[in-house]
Amino acid sequence: METGKCFYIPIIDDTAGMINDPVLLKLDDDMFWISIADSDILLWAKGIALGSKLNVEIIEPDVYPLAIQGPKSEDLLISIFGDDIKKLKFFNFKVFDFLGTKQIIARSGYSKQDGFEIYFKGFEKHFNEIELGEKLWDTIWENGQKFNISPGCPNLIDRIEAGLMSYGNDFTRENNPLECNLEKYCKQEDDHDFIGKEALRKIQSDGIVQRMRGILFDGDPCKPTGVPLPVYSKDNVKIGQIASGIYSPGFRKNIGLSMILKDYWEIGNEVFVNTFNGKNRRGIITSLPFPD
């Protein structure tokens, strides 16, 4: 891994179950940051280090990620940090100056659009009696007015359309990376040892029994799923459940993510989604991300 790169790294336990799917940033040959998903791995990492007698220090850095996402995000950051922003390739980062401080900016984010994540460091430092973090926010906000900026959070429609999974929702420690379409992050030719290697190799050899798929289904606009929606085959066999689902204005249909059993996961297969109102809505299996 080269310095300045970001790697997507599914982390597995001894049974090959996924405990996190973070992004790893290599800052130097002896310093890495792990930008974690929705589970804590600090004690897990400490346990590995202690159990393996590694000469490493594992700490939680004083860093505060701020995501700038959307089709105008590059223009906005160019207006603040200069044209070098254009040189950032996807899943790469560089160090940029902000009021005399060094800030890491990566071309990444939890959406299918272009975007950046600022790994802001030095929140408590003051700049003319204003905290540096507040100054960064105000600078982005003021420069973003001409780009119609607004505060927000990861967009559920956007992430489902992109096939971006949510840990603890779409998959848990009960699932392995292969079920989650993450085969390309699990190279079989690796000769180094790692936790869960034997279990993962067995799954790669035996095959998986379910896989994450997209589902397009009919009916009135579906509210964001608070309770999983059962998915059935044409012959009334339960073959999965939608943990993340919502109405997509772009597709003009409801969309969802679901682990689907092997005998039913072929693209184009007809399914039925139970929305707990006595109706089974007709749907089809799709690839991920959802095809345009």
Total domain count, the chain: 2
Domain edge (last residue) among 147, 180, 197: 147
133 and 202 together in one domain: no
pLDDT bin (cut points 50, 70, 90) of residue 252 is very high
162 and 278 together in one domain: yes
Residue 130 CA, distance from chain mean position: 33
pLDDT bin (cut points 50, 70, 90) of residue 65 is very high
Q: Give the other-Cβ count within 10 Å of 180's Cβ.
A: 22
Burial 264-280 (b: 16+ CB within 10 A, else e): bbeeebebbbbbeeeeb
254 and 171 together in one domain: yes
Q: What is the pLDDT of residues 163-180, one digit of tens each?
A: 999 999 999 999 999 999
User: Looking at residue 289, what DSSP letter applies?
Assistant: S
Residue 127 in this model has a pLDDT that exceeds 90:
no
| Alpha-carbon radius of gyration of the chain | 21
69 and 172 together in one domain: no
All residues at 6 or more sequence positions from 101 whose CB lies less than 8 Å from its CB, including other chains: 121, 122, 125, 132
Count of CA atoms in the C-beta half-sphere (13 A) of 63? 18
Q: What is the pLDDT of residue 188?
A: 77
Give me the CATH number covering residue 183.
2.40.30.110
